[in-house]
Amino acid sequence: MRVLLIDDHRLFRSALQELLESQGISTATGSGRDDIVALTAEFQPDLVLLDLRMPGQDGLTVLQQLRANNPQLPVVMLTGSEEERDLFDCLRAGAQGYLLKDSDPDYLVSALHEVTQGRIAIAPQLTDTLARALGQPPGAHDPQRPPDPFAVLTPRERDILEHLATGESNKVIARQLGISDGTVKLHVKSVLRKLGVRSRVEAAIKAVDLGLPRRRLGSD
């Protein structure tokens, strides 16, 4: 694995680089004052590990630039912020992960491998925050939403999205709807494609932000 590490604190950057390379991970580094897009093009990483708050460049702005220039490149935020707003802003902007700087080293390395396999990595301390936010009333994060942003979905796909927004697994969804796991997987892929998102978490956030009418959520 090749990881580009972007952080403005030199000592932290050096220590993290040493940790990653001890695990067989090739690294390159940069600070908030560097041209991150150029560094990415030069190093060709499998993943970018990006600080959220840096002098010179805001991490969220850098994330947006990276997504615009290379939408397939996973970007994981590494930060000290446990604020719900920061978590959601980064996930909305396309971050594939949100990890904390006080993470256990073994967990951090494992999470990076998970991300390169296409999964989302969220710091364990923040999973409850994410779950609470996804359980808020429709449109709680964005009252200025279009009339029906989910009109592109079939009725079955809307059902699937409702269940995704509660964090249910494919097996649970299949059991609830009386269909096979394979059918659920196909529907999930279609939902992600139609909504223009890359993961179940992003789909769930979009459902909350844009106000998916929920017939079952919170009714059990």
Domains and CATH numbers, the chain: 2-132 (3.40.50.2300), 138-210 (1.10.10.10)
Amino acid at 191: V
Given a cut of 60, is residue 9 above it in pLDDT? yes
Please tell me the distance from the alpha carbon of residue 204 to that of residue 165, in angstroms, as a whole number: 4
Given a cut of 90, is residue 126 above it in pLDDT? no
Given a cut of 70, is residue 214 above it in pLDDT? no
Mapped onto helix, strand or coil, the DSSP state of residue 118 is coil
Question: Count of alpha carbons within 13 Å of 156, Cβ hemisphere only?
Answer: 13
* Structure confidence at residue 193 (pLDDT): 85
| pLDDT per position as a tens digit, 13-49 | 999 999 999 999 999 999 878 889 999 999 999 999 9
CB contact at 8 A, 17 and 41: no
Return the residue matching tokens 């697994």: 169
Q: What angle do CA 194, 197, 199 make, to 5 degrees?
A: 120
Mapped onto helix, strand or coil, the DSSP state of residue 12 is helix
pTM of the model: 0.66
Find the helix or strand (DSSP H, E) in which 5 lies: strand 2-6
Which sign does the torsion angle of CA 183, 186, 191, 197 carry? Answer: positive
